[in-house]
Amino acid sequence: MTSEPLSEREQRVLEQCDACFEETLALTETLVREYSVLGQEQGVLTAMEAALERLELPVERVAMDAPSLLQHPQYAPVAWSGAGRYCLVSALNRDAPGRHLVFNGHLDVVPAEPIDTWTRPPWEPWRQDGWLYGRGAGDMKAGVAAMIMAVAAVRRAGVAIETPLTLQTVIEEECSGNGALACVNAGYGGDCVLIPEPFGPCLYTGQTGVLRFRIRVDGVPAHVLDATAGSDAIETMQRLIPALRTFEDELNAEREPPYDAFEHPFNLNIGRFDGGNWASSVPAHAEIEGRIGFAPGVAPEQIMRRFEACVARAHHDLALPGNAPHVEFHGFRSPGHLVDLEAPGIELLGECHRALSGGEPERYLSTCITDLCAFHVAGGVPGSCYGPVAERIHGIDERVDIESIRHTLKAYALFICRWQQLGD
């Protein structure tokens, strides 16, 4: 399949992408310096708002505590209040005719601890051998900078953006998806969404569902002078975890196309384990938090029921001491979905890739979830991910390939030009 040759105005736009590339990297570094873990996002939101204003882009805050959001069927229950929390949108040509294009990216990051394992502090970005390092550099502040500067490059090239276009920079992508949902709920769903997640210049074709859970086991505290008088909650939890692995195996045994191409696409992760309160006391409690993936087409409520049944069955079959473990679900309870590859925006994305690289984009089927869920499930909006190349995301010395940021910047700028023609 061939692509349309670059027009004179498109060439001007790409030249502007090169001209503003250092500015794009500087914006990425500014965002990385704001260590935006859950509950500490204000710094990065302030920096992002300042950057949009400097680029003469409108800025609007989308509240995370709007009553209609809290009552939305896709809203993920969380343990914290949404009061004072918000996402940012920059809406151009809101009432203009034409198809509405949305770029969405998240500003929140996962914790970087233990920090002493990093080469440098994770909130101090550095460049080395063609890579830009720092927590969130790949996931996904470089992509956010690229999508914003793509709009700036188009405008600086003298190309008018006349159809509706909205930039969204959101929080809570790493834990609930409620930030993107807030934007969709506020009327910014659009007709097509592109998200520069760091999976590389690929057509993202689908993602799994995700369910987050918390399990608490109560024991009986006792002094270690007679440990048999107590019941060790940590040991009980350790006996329970293999049953969760068995449930994970069951889900993977049920996999169907296209996920049958993976040996193990639906992953269980125990991300936090807490227990006991004193070294010489039998632990009176143990608690784990984790997530489990599941297939597209399966409702989260179905997985919740099966998960609860798994825990109850393990309590009975293993004759675990004490009352049945307490299970609750918080954060993600999101269904998976497959991308409509025939949607006009997805076909156009492939065309832009071919124009820049000369070849067909690879396809990427994901075993995790992104904010595409809010657009597809809550808004019926088609979209895909296409972004830079990153390594060690959620890991030590996270990094993003610098030249892949340039490619994302150019691909998005070219997409804006051709999207407007598509809307004629």
Q: How does pLDDT run across 281-292, given as a tens digit for each residue?
A: 999 999 999 999
- Whether pTM > 0.85 for this model: the answer is yes
* d(C-alpha 370, C-alpha 195), whole Å: 9
A 10 A CB-CB count for 368 gives 14
The CATH 3.40.630.10 domain(s) of the chain lie at 8-206+338-420
pLDDT digits (tens, 9 = 90+) for 253-275: 999 999 999 999 999 999 999 99
Confidence at 3, pLDDT banded by 50, 70, 90: low
pLDDT at 413 over 80: yes
Coil, strand or helix: which one is 383? strand
E strands, 107-164, are 126-128, 131-133
For the 209-334 domain, the top CATH level (class) is: alpha beta
Degrees to nearest 5, angle at CA 391 with 146 and 293: 100
d(CA 215, CA 241) in angstroms, rounded, equals 10
Residue 357, C-beta contacts closer than 8 angstroms, at least 6 positions apart: 201, 407
- The highest-level CATH class for domain 8-206+338-420 is alpha beta
78-89 per-position pLDDT tens digit: 999 999 999 999
Mean pLDDT of 3-25: 94
Three-state SS for 209? Answer: strand
Range list for CATH 3.30.70.360 in the chain: 209-334
Residue 84: CB atoms within 10 Å:
9
Average pLDDT over all residues of the chain: 96
Mean of pLDDT values over 118-134: 98
Give the relative orientation of helices 21-32 and 8-19 as an angle to the nearest 10 degrees. Answer: 50
Share of the chain above pLDDT 70, in %: 99
d(CA 28, CA 139) in angstroms, rounded, equals: 11
Tell me the C-alpha distance between 186 and 165, whole Å.
15
> What would the two tokens of residue 196 be?
């520069």
pLDDT recorded at residue 379: 81
DSSP three-state, residue 382: coil
Q: What would the mean pLDDT of 228-245 be, rounded to a whole number?
A: 95
Minimal CA–CA distance to 137: which of 424, 396, 313? Answer: 396
3 state DSSP class of 192:
strand
DSSP E strand boundaries for 14-100: 60-63, 86-92
Q: Is 92 helix (H, G, I), strand (E, B) or coil?
A: strand
